[in-house]
Structure 1
Amino acid sequence: MHGRPCRLLPGIRTGSQHAAAAKAVGMSAADRPLRVAYLLLREPSYSETFITSEIDAVRAAGADVEVFVARDNRGPRELRQVVDTTLRHPMRTLRQVHTLGMSYLPRAALAAAHAARLTGLIGTFGPDVVHTHFVNLPTAIAALVGQRTGVPVTATAHAADFLLDPDGYALDRRLRLLSHLFVISEAAAGQLTERGVSLSAIPHSVVRAAFDGAISSPPLRPAGGVTRLVTVARLVEKKGVDSALDMVAQLVRAGVPVRYEVYGDGPLRTRLEERARTSGLTDVVTFHGAVSHRVATAALVGADVAVLPCRRAADGDLDGIPVFLMEAASRGVPVVTTAMSGIPELVGSSGGWQVPPDDPDALADAVRQVIHSPEEAQRRARVLADRLRDEFSPALQARRLLAEWGRLATARKARTRWT
């Protein structure tokens, strides 16, 4: 066995720890909390804080959560794992590859190898449900684990995880193996249908991506002075940071005093830094690089505008509902963004400023409105904070998840009694 197939994220109790806590308050085995096994491909990156926020909320709601991470290594060691699994269990591997679809080869073989490593560990935990995020390889692994353990499997679809999947047939086949599919937005459901997924045949519902849960109401920002614009994002095409730089250049040429701070890293960083230099923005724009979630959220303190001009990338990649916009809203920062994908489901008609993608002029006009109408900016920020509280709170998402998981667990127990 290569590496450690199971690791726990900080703050998540193991089954034994929760059992000890249950015993301390007299909880019996018969009425134990719902057990949820989160199966992740890897530990969440700095841009995937929604996973850890969701896990925290599910645990706070009373569930017993354990996290299993499939990928401790990549490259030659992972390839050897696939070969070893196939040689030891050729017929089982072939059946699992067939289950996922031959067109999904070689990822189906990789999923079978990871499932072989994790099935026993997850079975020992004894979950009522196995849940994963992203409907590509993690869902393939989870579906095979569910088949071998008899445990219901659910998954959350976001955006790039299916938008960039070239095999719509295998995607549909994979999702049909789930007991339930969660989507982060109505827009995502429509996008899955466009990709050829038969959602009418797959039980599904909306559960939003979780933010950190804190909601505050900062004081009114007075007009005048330097306007501080902030973006927290991976520096990839779909985030539209190049459009934001063009917008900043336009404001500077017009004599508007602004500063633009960009937090995050990615393949376009060098190109974006060069764009800022050639636009004469060296003294105005700061690229801070990859930072922790704590630093990223602290950057919103004192920010005047949260800017994220999302677009569809050339390869089809698209944001779902960016967590950065939720975290800005939770701190009362007015948002200027684009009406793309699921973003209108968060911002609504009056929760911020939404402009067309790839339109620096419209971005600049929106920022000017924030600057010159602080009362209106605060009003829209309050509307967005209320929307966040009513529809996007982590506690609400945890209740939605647990309601469905509880239903699946009850149905499974009923089937077990009758067989």
Structure 2
Amino acid sequence: MAAPGDSLRVAYVLLRDPSYSETFITSEIEAVRAVGATVEVFVARQGSRAAELRQIVGAVLRHPFRTLADVRALGMSYLPRAVLASAHAARLAGPIAAFAPDVLHAHFVNLPTAVAALVGRRTGVPSTAMAHAADFLLDRNGSALDRRLRLLNHLFVISEATAGQLTERGASLSAIPHGVVRAAFDGEIVERQPRRTGDVTRLVTVARLVEKKGVDTALDAVAQLTRAGVPVRYDIYGDGPLRTTLEERARALALSDVVTFHGAVSHRVATEALVSADVAVLPCRRAADGDLDGIPVFLMEAASRGIPVVTTAVSGIPELIGPAGGWQVPPNDPDALADAVQQLVSRPDEGHRRARILAARLRDEFSPALQARRLLAVWGRLARPGSHAPEPFPAGAAAADTTNSGAASAPGVAADRRAVASEEAGTRWT
């Protein structure tokens, strides 16, 4: 256990190495290291599925009673994945103990949290986890979710909306210590000049091509804009199961000369694509299976580069955009989406003003350094019981209202927010 004054040692327990759509994990780790913690990453799933199966069978045969204890801890209703979590914990416990961490931390409150909690039980090290969205929204076993979260010493949620969604799914948050820590973006905030009038407006989306991202709605809106004579280009970066369907939709809408699908690209390429963008578009919605975004990192990275944002008021997105940081339209509404883009094209100064407000909000409430300090404040108290580190957010609050914390961070931002809020009183789509 860390002594006062020592840097914390944090073991990140991940199911696999972060994918190209999970840059928030690597950004968070970099931020935690930057504020002085020692971080080691431990990946549960290594090798093929056949190797994983052999590992599970071996763990059960070698330690049947320990496996049974793990299953009981996670709940019999979680049986197959509890056995899997037990096997992963058995393999990771030794290397993690050798690292001698002060705290274990996982992202996603499904299998990675189960593994981290079991390793914590084996090693006596406090465990925490970060809840996002799909990691629990697609989980129909509310009792197992609640049981899993109760094994943690602290739960982090990326938004107030996430806390509400967890409660709806059956988690008893009143009995689980928790608080808001935002998902991290790459941290760079760039001052941007207003776009030139008369140019073709370049719309950009960076996302996995899945239902919840609403890219089909964006294509329909782009078709409306082109029919109305608004010169636009739409660049889509990302891949996914709906790519072929979306490409066919673009062709059917006669958008082949307007829309470009770039496929999966590196984070560097995706962020460079924002340099010449005029509008960041992401019309998120709830998918038919219940999947939903939390607060998309793409919107944060667009905001950090001064790109005006057109999105939807779903899940935690309003906590990022605030009352005046961009345009929020209803999901599945290409008319409203096209109208918002057209407003931005016709009033570029307004787009720049809202982008400045959003950049200020990002700096004050969503900066990676702030999230790292919030994490370390909790981890420090867990590693050093009885310490009096300052609260990173109100005690016991999963829904501390920080949405207006950027009011005075940049000249004119507070006045801009009031002006936009007043102006939108009868027209805002939220």
Post-superposition shift, 1:302? 1.2
Picking from 338, 349, 352, the partner of 1:378 is 352
* Counterpart residue identity of residue 36, structure 2: G
Separation in 1 of the partners of 2:371 and 2:381? Answer: 16
The answer on 1:81 being equivalent to 2:55 is yes
Post-superposition shift, 1:124? 0.5
Query: After alignment, is 270-279 or 218-227 more displaced?
Result: 218-227
The answer on 1:358 being equivalent to 2:358 is no
Q: TM-score, normalised by structure 1?
A: 0.91
The answer on 1:186 being equivalent to 2:160 is yes
Alignment of 1:203-242 (within 5 A): 203-242=177-216
Secondary structure, aligned partner of 2:385: helix
Post-superposition shift, 1:413? 9.7
Equivalent residue number for residue 275 of structure 1 = 249
* Counterpart residue identity of residue 353, structure 2: R
Gaps of 5+ in 1: 1-27, 415-419
Post-superposition shift, 1:342? 0.1
Equivalent residue number for residue 7 of structure 1 = none
Gaps of 5+ in 2: 389-430
Post-superposition shift, 1:75? 2.0
Separation in 2 of the partners of 1:118 and 1:167? Answer: 26
Equivalent residue number for residue 126 of structure 1 = 100
Equivalent residue number for residue 292 of structure 2 = 318
Separation in 1 of the partners of 2:344 and 2:218? Answer: 15
* Counterpart residue identity of residue 321, structure 2: V
* Counterpart residue identity of residue 200, structure 1: S
Contact 2:326 2:354 in 1 (8 A): yes
Equivalent residue number for residue 250 of structure 1 = 224
Picking from 23, 31, 40, the partner of 1:66 is 40
Percent of aligned positions with the same letter in both sequences?
Answer: 77
Secondary structure, aligned partner of 2:46: coil
Equivalent residue number for residue 395 of structure 2 = none
Picking from 275, 281, 285, the partner of 1:307 is 281
* Counterpart residue identity of residue 400, structure 1: R
Separation in 2 of the partners of 1:56 and 1:72? Answer: 23
Separation in 2 of the partners of 1:74 and 1:189? Answer: 35
Contact 2:310 2:326 in 1 (8 A): yes
Equivalent residue number for residue 19 of structure 2 = 45
**Superimposed CA distance per residue, residues 328-361 of structure 1 (whole angstroms, 9 cap, x where no aligned partner):** 0000000000000000000011000000000000
Post-superposition shift, 1:29? 8.3
Secondary structure, aligned partner of 2:364: helix
| C-alpha RMSD of the superposition | 1.3
**Superimposed CA distance per residue, residues 56-109 of structure 1 (whole angstroms, 9 cap, x where no aligned partner):** 000000001111011113422211111110000001101101110010010000
**Superimposed CA distance per residue, residues 270-292 of structure 1 (whole angstroms, 9 cap, x where no aligned partner):** 00000001110000000000000
Separation in 2 of the partners of 1:412 and 1:277? Answer: 63
* Counterpart residue identity of residue 53, structure 2: L
Contact 2:4 2:384 in 1 (8 A): no
Secondary structure, aligned partner of 1:234: coil
Separation in 2 of the partners of 1:220 and 1:334? Answer: 10
**Superimposed CA distance per residue, residues 106-162 of structure 1 (whole angstroms, 9 cap, x where no aligned partner):** 000000000000001000100000001000000000000000000000000000000
Picking from 336, 348, 352, the partner of 2:322 is 348
**Superimposed CA distance per residue, residues 226-266 of structure 1 (whole angstroms, 9 cap, x where no aligned partner):** 10000000000000000000000001111111000000000
Post-superposition shift, 1:217? 1.1
Secondary structure, aligned partner of 2:194: coil
Equivalent residue number for residue 197 of structure 1 = 171
* Counterpart residue identity of residue 205, structure 2: T
Equivalent residue number for residue 12 of structure 1 = none
Secondary structure, aligned partner of 2:384: helix
Post-superposition shift, 1:327? 0.2
Query: After alignment, is 68-77 or 310-319 more displaced?
Result: 68-77
Query: After alignment, is 167-176 or 403-412 more displaced?
Result: 403-412
* Counterpart residue identity of residue 121, structure 1: P
* Counterpart residue identity of residue 139, structure 1: T
Equivalent residue number for residue 117 of structure 1 = 91
Picking from 60, 78, 93, the partner of 2:67 is 93
Equivalent residue number for residue 81 of structure 2 = 107
Separation in 1 of the partners of 2:43 and 2:387? Answer: 27
The answer on 1:170 being equivalent to 2:144 is yes
Secondary structure, aligned partner of 1:106: helix
Equivalent residue number for residue 147 of structure 1 = 121
Separation in 2 of the partners of 1:169 and 1:267? Answer: 31
Q: TM-score, normalised by structure 2?
A: 0.89
Separation in 1 of the partners of 2:170 and 2:42? Answer: 30
**Superimposed CA distance per residue, residues 173-195 of structure 1 (whole angstroms, 9 cap, x where no aligned partner):** 00000000000000000000000
Post-superposition shift, 1:222? 2.0
Post-superposition shift, 1:30? 7.4
Separation in 2 of the partners of 1:193 and 1:360? Answer: 32
* Counterpart residue identity of residue 125, structure 1: F
Separation in 1 of the partners of 2:233 and 2:194? Answer: 19
Separation in 1 of the partners of 2:381 and 2:387? Answer: 10
* Counterpart residue identity of residue 310, structure 1: C
